[in-house]
Structure 1
Amino acid sequence: MRISARAEYAVRASVLLAGAAGVLTSAEIANAEEIPGKFLEGILTGLTRAGVVTSRRGAGGGYELARPAERITVADVIRAVDGPLVFVRDQRPSEMREEGVLLELWVALRASVREVLEGTTLADLAASRLPDNVAALVRSPTAWISPHPERRTDAPEFFI
């Protein structure tokens, strides 16, 4: 699974808004999170359309969360800018025509991604904490280890 730059920036901007005392301009968000301004504008448009953030025009205008941070999940943010969380050949697993164990694998993948992203709110991230089930995954002995060694020129051929 790959998280796009758009989704990562959207989460960062949303977490910043979750911790803000009031409305933030797009320039303030872009500067604080080092997000290219034009790119952020598109992200904020997607977040606004999806009802994650609201915008105010005029003096004192900017962006704020549309509802309390405790009620907005990371999944809500990612779906707002990238669509469904898990796609297989441009389809949701539930829309695929194939049957059997491979389809079940894709559905299980989607369920595990949902468990993490739907179970983590912007309030959690703004408070620099993870839900217990997600924190347990981070503490797993293999969580931080890449299953594939880095590409090296002196590695045996089967590692390249």
Structure 2
Amino acid sequence: MRLNLQTDYALRTLMMLATRGGQISVDEIANAYGISRHHLMKVAGKLAELGYVVARRGRGGGLTLARPAAEINIGSVVRSIEAFDVFVECFDPKTNSCAVAGACGLQGALSLALGDFLNRLDGYSLADLVPNRQLFAARLARDIAVKRPSRAM
């Protein structure tokens, strides 16, 4: 199983916001993780639309958490961004063309496994994903320093 890139970026964005506190620009987040600003802009818009972040546009704008990290449930975040209804073809009654649909146990087994996965994530808040905020921030800062070439002559 693999989460889509939007979910990955959303979780990383939320973790950075929980760690740093206050407002952070999309550029800062993209640079910190070495990811596409363009894709991150879409993710930021989705997170704002879903009510996880507050986005301020323009000069001096950026993202802030819409509520405390301890109140943001990771299972809910993942459910709101991922498309689990099409996890495999037979999950979608509109496009299912599997010849053995209804005669095999795969759909049931995958449904249970997916439910277990999401139920496990329901046990975590955003605060749980960054238990050591200082270490998390230090690692991000170290990686940023490594990615940026020195301007010293």
TM-score, length-scaled by structure 1 = 0.66
Q: How many corresponding residue pairs?
A: 127
Q: Which residue pairs with 1:136 in the alignment?
A: none
CA distance in 2 between counterparts of 1:16 and 1:114 reads 22
Query: Hey, what does 2:29 align to over in structure 1?
Result: 29
2:119 aligned partner, one-letter code: E
CA offset digits 1:32-51 (Å, max 9, x no partner):
12221111001111111111
The answer to whether the aligner puts 1:117 opposite 2:121 as a matched pair is: yes
Distance in structure 1 (CA, Å) of the matches to 2:130 and 2:90: 32
Percent of aligned pairs sharing the same letter: 35
Contiguous gaps of at least 5 residues in structure 2:
134-153
Which structure's residues are more often helix, by fraction? 2
For 1:108, the equivalent position in structure 2 comes to 112
Structure 1 residues 66 and 4: alpha-carbon distance in aligned structure 2, compared to 1, 3 A threshold: same
CA RMSD of aligned residues (A): 2.8
Q: Distance in 2 between matches of 1:123 and 1:26?
A: 21
Q: Deviations over 1:65-86 (max 9, x none)?
A: 1222112122333334333387
Q: 1:4 to 1:124 in 2, by over 3 A?
A: same
Q: Structure 1 residues 103, 74: CA separation in 2 closer, same or farther (over 3 Å shift)?
A: same
Unaligned runs of 5+ residues in structure 1 are 130-160
Q: How much does 1:63 deviate?
A: 0.5
CA distance in 1, matches of 2:10, 2:112: 25
Structure number with higher relative contact order (C-alpha < 8 Å, ≥ 6 residues apart): 2
Which range is displaced more, 115-124 or 37-46? 115-124
Residue type at the aligned position of 2:68 = P
Task: Report the counterpart of residue 127 of structure 1 in structure 2.
Answer: 131
2:11 corresponding residue in structure 1: 11
State the Cα deviation string for residues 83-117 of structure 1 (Å, max 9, x = none).
33872317369xx9837743431221122111222
1:75/1:85 contact within 8 Å kept: no
One-letter identity of the residue aligned with 1:113:
F
Q: Give the stretch that moved more between structures: 51-60 or 40-49.
A: 51-60
Match of 1:81 in 2: 81
Q: Give me the whole-angstrom Cα distance separating, in 2, the residues matched to 1:47 and 1:7.
A: 10
TM-score (normalised: structure 2): 0.69
